[in-house]
Copies of this chain bind each other. A is one copy, B any other.
Amino acid sequence: MAEDEQTKQVKTLKQRVWEIIFEAETPAGKLFDIVLLCFIGMSVLAVMLETVAEFKNKYSSELLFVEWFFTIMFSAEYLLRLWCSRKPLRYATSFFGVVDLLSCLPTYITLFLAGTSGFAVVRVLRLLRMFRVLKMAHHVRGAHVIMQGLVRSRAKITVFFFAILMFAVIAGTVMYYIEGNVEGTSFTSIPMSIYYAIVSITTVGYGDVVVQTNLGIFVTTIMILTGYAVIAVPTGIVTTELMRGKDNESDHTTDACPSCGAHGHLADAVYCRRCGDRLDHD
């Protein structure tokens, strides 16, 4: 009976930890999410600053400390997540489980292997962890409406992209045959010319590839103006969808599956839609 009591105690502790790190309903859970967001943000910022030569030379020891601090924090968080999951393996093999692991592993590897700064790119993947937190915030009104608008205009935007691409391929090929033979040209190949066409049509206009012949100037002008009318289309599409968008209240909960940690269950869901386990704790 005493053991039963203790088990219950442990269970309750596990459950409480679970509620804090996997869900966002309780004040502690919300606080944890905010702290986690900050930590992710700061650790990514540190990874970025590491690539700035002058900064790295000046604050190399501080960067090292910050890196290890976050690595240890994330490792602890990962172990906690493993521990309080009912089926740790299922969590470990889930998408976010892998991302969580990847966000602390590279630092340990650099300990044993010198000159593996290339792992830095993996550490930026930490940013993906933000989505876990943000997914819970997906009933934030603004994001939901925007998402709906984008999803609903998906088909039209795809069609549009295909059209733009064909337009760019044809315009780029024409430009290549106009400009390709001029001395000192930047239109060295058709793909390069298509890059020019896309950069022009979308009004980016870097200026690294520019025309030299009179005919090229004329065709570019036509291309820009034609493209400009076409490019007005996605704005129109998104606006139309956004206006149609009723903000039909989302009925998703922030509860996560106790086994695999999947989010986004409907309010009346009893079983996890991903692993099929019961969603309630025992």
Contacts and interface: CB of A to CB of B under 8 A. Distances in A.
Interface stretch (A15-23, A79-87, A222-230, A251-259): A222-230
A66 interface: no
Contact of A155 (B142, B204, B229, B235): B142
Interface residues of A, number: 78
A198 B170 contact: no
Nearest to A210: B208
A47 interface: yes
A145 interface: yes
Contacts of A276: none
Contacts of A237: 146, 232, 242
Interface string A114-146: 000000010010010010000000001111011
A101 interface: no
Contacts of A228: 202, 231, 234
* Most chain B CB neighbours (cut-off 10 Å) among A165, A194, A229: A229
A164 B208 contact: no
Contacts of A155: 140-142
A48 B191 CA distance: 6
B202 A225 contact: yes
